[in-house]
Structures are given as structure tokens and as C-alpha cells.
A and B are shown apart, each in its own frame.
Chain A
């Protein structure tokens, strides 16, 4: 009889262990916030909407249920962390300002990777209400969806260093930051062309001057920051060389096979914009580009980066985009 009770005891003990160990672990895990990442097509972040309080640390445990994802919070100075399939990544966030923050995936997981976003609603006592500044294109009243193209384009890539060598005085109105932000390169070129003191310069010379003016409005650090942002966030669709030929470009191209990068307020996704196309780019102002980046493409497949990038980051990206049209290095 004793043998039987001993045997039964061992069975119960073994089964109890097999069940309680995972049960305890599961209960412990439930105490924290576990966020499951999926590709956007199969659900995105789960949970998608989190809450937090100002000053109180938010502990998250991130895991992926399919491929490698990444995690970062928009407009917060934190390096992105990788979210690996089947493994847990611990992240602690502390917010010092209330508001609605956006967290997003930072590893290209699918063509809809940029849609993998969630929000963190941070509550707390607000010391002062910060007025929201409308973006520049709104202030300027720009229609960033309107058709535009440059009437004249350079015969070769304009180079800032060649423009510098020309040693011409540029009128002050063209050298201000405000002018740079609100005008397209073709505007500057037309302005220079209409100036009789430049009549001895060729069209190409004037483009080089434009490149030189544009370069003076950017810094190498800004361009480098823009390059890194572009590589991480934009190259997958727009291509490493900005030609609109990234890995996902074909999937985004309109079904009609329309492969030119025109703007529409379309419902269909479009082939990504080609930043190497001078007709297009040279008739675009930095404010216009910033607007596109912040607002997105209204269904064309271009993500809206407003909640993700800081204003500084957006201008850095814009500065980098000009390197597809101009040679902006100091001297070769």
C-alpha cells in the first residue's frame, strides 16, 4: 500500500511542478506590460495604445511573434532597440511632458512596416500649454499636392564648389534662411538669370551658383544626420540612391503601371518619388519637402513622419535630399 501512495505522490508532485512553474511564470509576466509585435499586415503592435504618467517609469517587455522588429518612441531621444522573435527585450521609458507619443517599428519588416505604430498617452500636470506651431508649408499656404516641374534643368549635376569658384556676389535677399526654406532652386535660378550682371554666365554656371547658395544653408553634420535617417527610414522605398527604386518600390507602383513620380491625392499607392529627377526636385522648396515628410502622401504609400521626427531631424533629411541633385561637398 505504501508503495502505491508513494507512487501517487510522485505523480502528483511531477504534474504539479510541470503546471505550476509555467503558471507562476505566466502570472508574473502578466504583471508587467508585454507588447507583442507583428507585421502590420497581421496586427501590428498588441497592445497598440498604452498609458503612462509623467515622471513614472513605464516598463515594457517587447517580443515579436514573427520577424525581427524594432522599437523607438517618436520625438524622444532614445536609441532604437531590436525586438527579436520569441525573445523578450526590456525597455523602460520615462516621460517628462504629458501628451500623445507615437512608438513605431524601426526594422523594415514588410512593405507596410511604417504603419506599425502605436500611441502612448502620457498624463500629468501641465505646467504650461505649449502652442503648436503650424508647419511652414501651411504658414506659406503651399499646396504640396499641386503639379510642378522646372522649366529648365541643368545639363550636368550642379556643384557647389564650382559655384564657389565663380566668385560672384549673391544679393542678400537670396542668402537668407527664410528664402532658402520657402523657395525652390528654380526660383533662385530664374532670379539669377533675370539679373543683367549675370549675363556673362552660362545656364550651368547659374545652377552651380544655386548649388553653392543651397550648400551655405546646410552643414555637413546636418547632411550626415539626414543621411542616417534616410538610410534607416526612406531607402527601402526610395532607394539607396534616391531614385525611387527601393526594395518595395515595385509593390507600391500603381497597378496601371504608371511609373512617373507625380503627386496625386490618390487612393492607390504610387511608385516612390525619384529624388534624382531634376524636373521635379528643382521645382520643390524645402518647405514643400518638409510638408510632404510631415504629412505623408495621403494614401500614396508615403508615411507621415510628423509624430516621429523632430523638426530638427526633418530639416536634416531635407538637407540630405538636396545631395541627390547637387554636389554639396566643399571641394572634391
Chain B
């Protein structure tokens, strides 16, 4: 990875000299470029603010692993369980993704060690670099493995989410995997192709109000070096971004561009959705369906009233668990895809070739994104909101050793918020439903066929799914 400093002949054109009337016109009229906001620009331009945030998450990550491995085995009083599965997960689902897209990736501690080894330094590239820098195998590209990783999580989630030691080991294993991959493959192989969090963060980032895009195409066309590509630790081409799913918002390209031609835009929600897809790759569709299948399963297992289901999910290796695993995998690998493909096919009026059906599937899959996002937010609200009070407890005594960092008495009383929480979940699911309807309508309007019937089976799919989620969470 080459930093701007390594390119001797590229110099940064000062901000004032750059901006003249023609450039102002060419910025997106309806989008606010945060990088050009006077008081925000220095925060993004300097690497130090981001570095400090990353140090906080890294220290927190190490502390969390220690708490998981050596702290109390009672989940509700263990810093690792509460901070990973309640605090961080809630922040991820309610703040980072809906409002920032893939913003967590910007400060995630997991790839840092690998990054530093790859470039031989922390703030500046070093002489000795480590790593074989192999290209990621072409056949493994795409988000298939991320879907697989998420399915793995789903199979073992009951134990991971409740056992502090398992959480500690899982985090350690993920860290080791990320470092290992950085030493073998180039760039952020783990983040791009394996990390399940990155997988769905990127997918749902298409609904978010933040994006990183070039401002003026011609400037990039005339630029031979493509410093943005040289600077990107993910190995992406910022000048070619069409949607926000791949970009981890690390801002290196923003800093590297000699023409200040990259923008961090605030934009309306759902801006990446509604376009016809020309791709025949179905990996994102599959991930969207896995997320839907998983939220339904988790809602049933974790917040449902079926004790036998919880036991089955918990007793890994037993026959009930095998049955649970079978049903979970069948739901995600078979049932959801078949129903969805059926709905798309019905919408296309039964008269398409497989190739154009693939394109139709990839296109219609966008309808699943707001549905999935809001369902996950609603599910997170249902299980995490009443437990937020536990965060105070573990901040007070993270290891259960009788500390009193915040000076609080032990046994903090739980606050009951069941009423407002239910209302919030219903609202969130309704937003998800109508948002997915609006994406479906937008797609129907821009489609070549111009037939209104295309969207009906998909909308029916969304409706049935929402009703199912309503029943599981609230009903």
C-alpha cells in the first residue's frame, strides 16, 4: 500500500487554489460534501483523529478478550458479553450502519495489526514489509464466504452469545485469522471476503446516507497515476464506485487525491437502490436472503417463547441441535432462495431466460435490503434495549472482582421498557415494509418492461416476511 508521501512527483494542490466556480458547480447539488465543510475537513484530513479512535477500539478489543477469558462466567456481568453483543452490536445496528453505512470498518481494530505488518509501519510506511501479497483467488471473490461465515455464526450463536469464554476465543480466532490473511494475501482480504460483519455492513450501506464518490469524472480520466487506488488499503478503485458496498470509509483516498476530487457525501437514504442491475452475480442476493432467514431464526430462538428451541440451539452436538442446524440451513440455503426466485420469476411473467432471470433476481434483491435492515434493527431493539442498563454494571465492575469504577452499588435495578420497545419495533418493521415497497416501485418504474405487475410478487414477499417478523417479535 503506497501512501501519498511515497509518490514524489504528486503534490497536493492547496484547497484555496483548487476551488473555483466551475468546480463548485460540479459538486453534487443535492449532496453535502463533508470533506469540504470547513470545520470537518481537518478531522478527516489528519490521520490522528481516526488513529485515536482506532486505538480506543483496539485497546477495548484486547480488554474485551481478557474479560471474556478471565472474567466472570455469568454473561450478564461479563464485560465481553455485554460490550460485544449488547453495546457494540446495538451501536452497529442502530447507528453505524443506518447512518454511516460501512463506518464501523473505518475504526475496526481487527485488521489493524495486519495493515501495519503489510506496510511495515503505523503512520508511515516502513522499510521492512511483511506478507506474501498474493492475490485473493478469483473463485473465492464476492460475498459468498461472508454469507457462509454468517451462517456459521448462526449455528453456534446460542453458545457464543451467552458464554464469555467462547466469545473471548471467537474474537481471538477472528483476530488471528485477519492477521494470518494479511500476511498471505494482499490488502484487506479478510475484510473484503471473509468478515461477516463487513459483508452485511457493506450490503446495507447502500441504504445509508453516507457515500464516498468522485466529484468530476474528467479529472480522473486525465490522471495517469490514480493515487486513490494506490492509497486504498482495500485495493479498491474509488473512481469507479457505483454503490457504497465495498468501501470501508478509511478515507485514505480522500487524503491522497492531488486534485481533491473525492467527496464524502451526505446523501438521501436509499440512494444506491432502485437501479437496474447489469450483473449476473447472485452473491449479494444470497447474502440478503441469509440475513433475512437469520433474523427470523434468531427472533424465534432468542426472543421466542419456545424453550425446546432454545435448548436445541444451545446444546451443540446433540440430536436436537443437529435438527436445528438442518432446519436453519434448509431455510437459508433452500426455502428463502426458492421462494424469492419464485417471486421474481412470477413478477417477470414466467417468460424469461435464465440469464435475464439472474439479472432480475440481482435487481429485485435490492427490495430485500431495507426489509432486512429494519428487521435487524427491530430485532436488536427487542433484545438489546432492555439490557442496555447492564452496560453500566460491566463498566463499573468489568471482571466481576468487586470493583466499583463508577462508584455504583452492585445489583443495578433493571428498567422496564417493554411498552415503548414494542411500539418502536412495530414502527421499525412498518418503515422497513414501506421502504421496500418504494424500492420495488422505483425498480418497476425504471424497468424496460414498464409493467406494474413485476413488483407485486416481491411486494407480497416483503409483506409476508414483515408479518412473520411482527408475529415473532410483538405478536
**Is A8 engaged at the interface, CB distance under 8 Å to the other chain?**
yes
Number of interface residues of B (CB under 8 A): 32
Q: Report chain A residues within 8 Å CB of B58.
A: 11, 14-15, 18
Distance of B125 from chain A, by nearest CB (Å) = 9
Interface residues of A in 134-161 (CB under 8 A from B): none
Q: Report chain B residues within 8 Å CB of A8.
A: 122
What 0/1 pattern do residues 103 to 128 of B give for CB contact below 8 A with A? 00000000000000000011110100
The complex places the Cα of A66 from the Cα of B123 at a distance, in Å, of 46
Q: Report chain A residues within 8 Å CB of B60.
A: 18
**Is A61 engaged at the interface, CB distance under 8 Å to the other chain?**
yes
When the two chains form their complex, are residues B399 and A26 in contact, meaning their CB atoms are under 8 A apart?
yes
When the two chains form their complex, are residues B67 and A87 in contact, meaning their CB atoms are under 8 A apart?
no
The complex places the Cα of A18 from the Cα of B63 at a distance, in Å, of 5
**Is A4 engaged at the interface, CB distance under 8 Å to the other chain?**
yes
Q: Report chain B residues within 8 Å CB of A3.
A: 123-124
What 0/1 pattern do residues 77 to 94 of A give for CB contact below 8 A with B? 000000011111010000
User: Which of B56, B70, B398, B402 is packed against the most chain A CB atoms within 10 Å?
Assistant: B402
Instruction: Choose among B52, B55, B73, B398 the residue that contacts A65 (Cβ–Cβ < 8 A).
Output: B73
The complex places the Cα of A87 from the Cα of B122 at a distance, in Å, of 40
Distance of B48 from chain A, by nearest CB (Å) = 9
Distance of B385 from chain A, by nearest CB (Å) = 21
Interface residues of A in 40-68 (CB under 8 A from B): 61, 63-66
The complex places the Cα of A66 from the Cα of B60 at a distance, in Å, of 26
Q: Report chain A residues within 8 Å CB of B148.
A: none
Instruction: Choose among A4, A28, A63 the residue that contacts B72 (Cβ–Cβ < 8 A).
Output: A63
When the two chains form their complex, are residues A65 and B74 in contact, meaning their CB atoms are under 8 A apart?
yes
**Is A169 engaged at the interface, CB distance under 8 Å to the other chain?**
no
Consensus secondary structure, chain A interface: helix
Distance of A165 from chain B, by nearest CB (Å) = 53
Q: Report chain B residues within 8 Å CB of A6.
A: 123
Closest B residue to A28 using CB positions? B401
When the two chains form their complex, are residues A11 and B122 in contact, meaning their CB atoms are under 8 A apart?
yes
Consensus secondary structure, chain B interface: loop
When the two chains form their complex, are residues A61 and B121 in contact, meaning their CB atoms are under 8 A apart?
no
Closest A residue to B77 using CB positions? A86
Number of interface residues of A (CB under 8 A): 30
Instruction: Choose among B67, B74, B123 the residue that contacts A4 (Cβ–Cβ < 8 A).
Output: B123
Q: Report chain B residues within 8 Å CB of A251.
A: none
When the two chains form their complex, are residues B400 and A18 in contact, meaning their CB atoms are under 8 A apart?
no
The complex places the Cα of A6 from the Cα of B121 at a distance, in Å, of 12
When the two chains form their complex, are residues B74 and A64 in contact, meaning their CB atoms are under 8 A apart?
yes
**Is A25 engaged at the interface, CB distance under 8 Å to the other chain?**
yes
**Is A132 engaged at the interface, CB distance under 8 Å to the other chain?**
no
Interface residues of B in 54-106 (CB under 8 A from A): 55-56, 58-60, 62-63, 66-67, 70, 72-74, 76-78
Q: How many A-B pairs with Cβ below 8 Å? A: 84
Q: Report chain A residues within 8 Å CB of B418.
A: none
Interface residues of A in 1-46 (CB under 8 A from B): 1, 3-4, 6-8, 10-11, 14-15, 17-19, 21-22, 25-26, 28-29
The complex places the Cα of A8 from the Cα of B62 at a distance, in Å, of 16
Instruction: Choose among A26, A63, A87 the residue that contacts B411 (Cβ–Cβ < 8 A).
Output: A87
Given contacts A15-B58, A84-B411, contact A25 B66 (CB under 8 A): no
The complex places the Cα of A29 from the Cα of B70 at a distance, in Å, of 12
Interface residues of A in 223-265 (CB under 8 A from B): none
The complex places the Cα of A52 from the Cα of B116 at a distance, in Å, of 53
When the two chains form their complex, are residues B51 and A65 in contact, meaning their CB atoms are under 8 A apart?
no
Instruction: Choose among A4, A7, A15, A88 the residue that contacts B400 (Cβ–Cβ < 8 A).
Output: A88
Q: Report chain A residues within 8 Å CB of B400.
A: 63, 86-88
Instruction: Choose among A14, A25, A29, A85 the residue that contacts B74 (Cβ–Cβ < 8 A).
Output: A85
When the two chains form their complex, are residues A19 and B62 in contact, meaning their CB atoms are under 8 A apart?
yes
**Is B260 engaged at the interface, CB distance under 8 Å to the other chain?**
no
Q: Report chain B residues within 8 Å CB of A85.
A: 72, 74, 76-77
Q: Report chain B residues within 8 Å CB of A88.
A: 397, 400-402, 410
Q: Report chain A residues within 8 Å CB of B399.
A: 22, 25-26
Subset of 23 A-B contacts with CB under 8 Å = A1-B124, A3-B123, A4-B122, A7-B122, A14-B55, A14-B56, A18-B60, A18-B66, A22-B398, A25-B401, A25-B403, A26-B70, A26-B399, A28-B401, A61-B402, A63-B400, A84-B411, A85-B76, A86-B72, A86-B74, A86-B78, A86-B400, A87-B411
B-contacting residues of A (Cβ < 8 Å)? 1, 3-4, 6-8, 10-11, 14-15, 17-19, 21-22, 25-26, 28-29, 61, 63-66, 84-88, 90
Known pairs A3-B124, A19-B66; list 20 more (Cβ under 8 Å): A1-B124, A4-B123, A7-B123, A11-B122, A14-B56, A15-B59, A18-B58, A18-B59, A18-B62, A18-B63, A19-B62, A21-B63, A22-B63, A25-B403, A28-B401, A29-B402, A63-B72, A63-B400, A65-B72, A86-B74
